[in-house]
Structure formats: C-alpha cells, structure tokens
Amino acid sequence: MSYAKKSRVEPGAKVNLNKIDADFKPKGLDREEAEERFRVLTNELRDLQHLMYAENRRSLLVVLQGRDAAGKDGTIRHVFGPMNPQGTRVTSFKVPSKEERAHDFLWRCHRAAPKRGTVGIFNRSHYEDILVVRVHDLVPKKIWSRRFDQINAFERLLAGNGTVILKFYLHIDREEQLERFKKRMDNPKKNWKISDADYSERPHWDAYTEAFEDALSKCSTDIAPWFIIPANRKWARNLIIADIVAETMKDLDMRFPEPEVDMEEIRSKYHEAEKSG
C-alpha cells in the first residue's frame, strides 16, 4: 500500500477532517507486524539521513502540526530518533519572543530551515500564524488571510534552493485527546506536560478544525505536500510517517560523493605504514 498516496492532500482539494478516520490502521497488518516493519524503516531512515549528510546537496524539512496531545513529540522520538543528531535538528515553535515579534512571522522559521545535508524537524511551525492567531482573533482576518499565499511562496523558496518539504498533520479525535490528557495526569513522569491550555483550548475544537482544514486545503502543493496522518493509534502513525519519509528520501536517488583524494596514493601510504609498523 502507498501510504503517501492515501494520506496526501492533493493541491486544490477541499479537506473535511470529520470524514477522516483518526482510528485508521493499515489493512493486513497487526500491531506486531507493523512494529517489525517500522524497525526496518527506521534503519533505512538512519542510512538515508547518513547518505544525505554525505552527499551535502539538499536538505529535508519535516513539519509536524496537530492539536494538543496529537503526538508530535512521540513522532520525533520514535520516527526520527534513530537519525544521527549531527545531521538532524529539531526546532519547537512556541509563543513568539519579543525579538521574533519584531520581525515578520516567517523570520523565525526561515532561520531554522535546514542547511544542505541535514534534516530539519519543525515541532509546530509557521502554520501557527494562521491557526492560533485566527482562532483567538490575535490579528485581523485581512492579515492572517494573506499568509496562505506568503507561506506557499516561502515554501517555494526553500524548495527552489534544494529543500525537500514534507508536512504531516497528526489527526486525533476529541475522545482520544481527552484520554491522553488523563494519562498525563495519572503518570507522574508526564505531569510536566500538563498545561492550562490543554483544557482552555478544547472549547475551540470546531474553530481549530476549520482553521486546520483551510491550511491543509490552501497550502498543500506539489513541492510542499500535506499528509493527514490518522494518529489515534501511535504505532500506525509511526509506521505511516516513517514509510512516507523513507519513500521520499529513496526517490531522491542520492549518491555518496567521490573522494577528494587519490585513493591509490592513500592505499600506497597505508601499505607503507603497515610494513613499517
């Protein structure tokens, strides 16, 4: 099955999140089989990231968006954790700082865009500025409504300079979110993740749904596609995302660069050193 094809939002398509099953699981795979397949994929991702680092010609930007408790942190830990930290960078975007507010809304994200040879992961992203600001009326509609086109232009700029962009919306339902909040309360090791916003945002569920649907519909393009990932089942979420990222990276047909030294000369020096002890 092509998870990419099933999950991808085609350019111009109108998204209706209420019609997408957040509890989806891959057909023909039980959890044990899926987790074994996932282990194979994470090994592939580790090797592909190493190849991208060595080739040093392009970069990969992964954008993760979703409601509170949708699983952004878990996705980073499980899917991208096996990658070498030397060539991987995670950036979390929270409430803008004073310095960030003094610039245009894309400034802080552009600064964090991955350089050639690296994988960049955005935990939340520039899309917060057409989600939160819209739901809470922090800026006028005439301002945030222009940002769809500005975001598309920004992503075209990155893609035109060698950055491959994959954007994942982690789709959970209301019941699953509440259950995850309860687990945070019941587990002392997760108490630190609890915030007042977890519950204060719940009454805005429908408003966020509308905002997410607009972002997914208006900002999924050929060069920066959105993928809607059913995320109630964490093991299914991990498998689907790992599969899409691995498939995308393999399609880049990356190659290790040729050595910059004369290998015959290096071998000769090695043998001389071996003989002399």
Q: What is the mean pLDDT of residues 109-135?
A: 97
- Residue-level pLDDT at 276: 78
Residue 69 confidence (pLDDT) above 90: yes
Residue 270 confidence (pLDDT) above 80: no
Q: Residue 131's closest CA among 112, 111, 151?
A: 151
- Residue-level pLDDT at 115: 98
Residue 2 confidence (pLDDT) above 80: no
Tell me the pTM.
Answer: 0.94
Higher per-residue pLDDT: 274 or 41? 41
Bridge-based pairing state of the strands 59-66 and 163-171: parallel
The helix or strand, by DSSP H or E, that contains position 230, with its residue range, turns out to be strand 226-230
- pLDDT band at 277; cut points 50, 70, 90: low
Q: What is the mean pLDDT of residues 181-201?
A: 83
Q: What are phi and psi of 90, to 5 degrees?
A: -105, 130
- pLDDT band at 198; cut points 50, 70, 90: confident
- pLDDT band at 49; cut points 50, 70, 90: very high
**Domain limits, the chain:** 3-276
- Residue-level pLDDT at 68: 94
* Token pair recorded at residue 147: 């940002």
Domain 3-276: CATH class, spelled out? alpha beta
- pLDDT band at 269; cut points 50, 70, 90: confident
- Residue-level pLDDT at 206: 97
Q: What is the mean pLDDT of residues 197-209?
A: 90
- Residue-level pLDDT at 187: 87
Residue 122 confidence (pLDDT) above 80: yes
Please give the order of strands across the beta sheet that includes 59-66.
88-92, 119-123, 59-66, 163-171, 226-230
The Cα–Cα gap between 2 and 129 comes to 31
Residue 1 confidence (pLDDT) above 60: no
Q: What is the pLDDT of residues 224-268, one digit of tens each?
A: 999 999 999 999 999 999 999 999 999 999 999 988 777 777 787
Half-sphere exposure of 202 (CA within 13 A, CB side): 14
Name the burial class of residue 260, with classes exposed (0-12), middle (13-18) and buried (19+) by CB atoms within 10 angstroms of its CB.
exposed
- Residue-level pLDDT at 136: 95
